[in-house]
Amino acid sequence: MARLIFKSLNLSDRDLDFLIETSSPGVFDKPKLKQILREDEKLRNTFIEDEKVFRRVMDQEEVFLKISPALFFEILLRKAVRELKEMSFTLEKTGTAKIPVFDTKEVVEFLGKESLLAYLADMLSSFTHIKTYIFSLQVGEYLFEHIKFNDIDLFSLIDLSEEVDDEYKLGFYKRIADICLFILGMFPDYAEYDYRYPFSGALRPSFYGKTRMSAEDYEQEGRKFYRLAAEHPKARELELSEVFWTLHEDFPKAKKPLNFIAEHYLSYRRPRFFG
């Protein structure tokens, strides 16, 4: 199930090679610089925030052959922070209109917490490959039911989260909440299109086997499952409780930088990056 992480993102040798080749191509002692970047978080972030690095990942056709998805999304998130600092408002879609919301200072402060930025980068990277699982559920003394699902199947995950043992619940809670944030952040148009007809605004009819959720429903479920994740004993052991509580309380702020990335950096390229 969902990966349980992490205070900061570790850079692979491939990631470090990419950063050094882009930011300091003429460096004499490359192994020494790689070691320094592993140990010095401030210098590491300076390399990641280099404008040359951002331009190169945006121009790279098969960027995931060069760097990890987590580094790619960290680069985009840090670029979004720099651009949002220069803006006075973000745009929120209401029906067919977009309205300005003067909240950029709050969004920038939200992403100023390194643990949250690292979490969002890792979360986005987890959606670049969709995994399929087969889950065995005991329904009788000698009878098991085998359930097949993938890790973006929101409703199956919600059902299973009620059935699994407590020790496994945190992974399900986290993934369910992440799916809600991912959809509202990277594909907000999907949530609206799936719920309403685009021109009339009328609600689409529900039918057997298909549950429709509004953007408000996704947010409600996301906040609910981040709260459940924050309350899970294992979250405290992994030092993730504070991150989950913040995402529960500030869910709208968490989706804003993802909206910005989706609209300004990825746009029509989103299907290429996400499985």
Average confidence (pLDDT) over 80-93:
88
- What sign does the CA torsion over 25, 27, 31, 35 have? negative
Q: Please list, in sequence order, all residues whose beta carbon lies within 8 angstroms of the beta carbon of residue 41, skipping any fewer than 6 positions away.
A: 8, 114
What number of residues does the chain have? 275
**Does the residue 34 lie in any domain?**
no
Instruction: Say if CB 122 and CB 6 are below 8 A apart.
Output: yes
Any idea what the Cα angle at residue 261 is, between residues 258 and 265, rounded to 5°? Answer: 165
Q: Which of 198, 187, 170, 224 is nearest to 1 (CA)?
A: 170
Cα gap 219→237, rounded to integer Å: 26
Cα gap 100→64, rounded to integer Å: 34
Q: Is the pLDDT of residue 182 over 90?
A: yes
First to last CA, the chain: 16
How many percent of the chain have pLDDT more than 70? 88
How many percent of the chain have pLDDT more than 90? 62
**Does the residue 259 lie in any domain?**
yes
Tell me which residue range forms the domain holding 268.
86-273
Q: What is the pLDDT of residue 100?
A: 78
**Does the residue 10 lie in any domain?**
no
**Does the residue 9 lie in any domain?**
no
The whole model's pTM is what? 0.88
Structural domains counted in the chain: 1
> Residue 196 CA to chain centroid, in angstroms?
25
**Does the residue 58 lie in any domain?**
no
Split at pLDDT 50, 70, 90, the class of 5 is low
**Does the residue 52 lie in any domain?**
no
Q: What is the pLDDT of residue 223?
A: 98
**Does the residue 110 lie in any domain?**
yes
Least confident of 63-67, 70-74, 155-159, 271-275: 271-275
Cα gap 173→154, rounded to integer Å: 11
**Does the residue 245 lie in any domain?**
yes
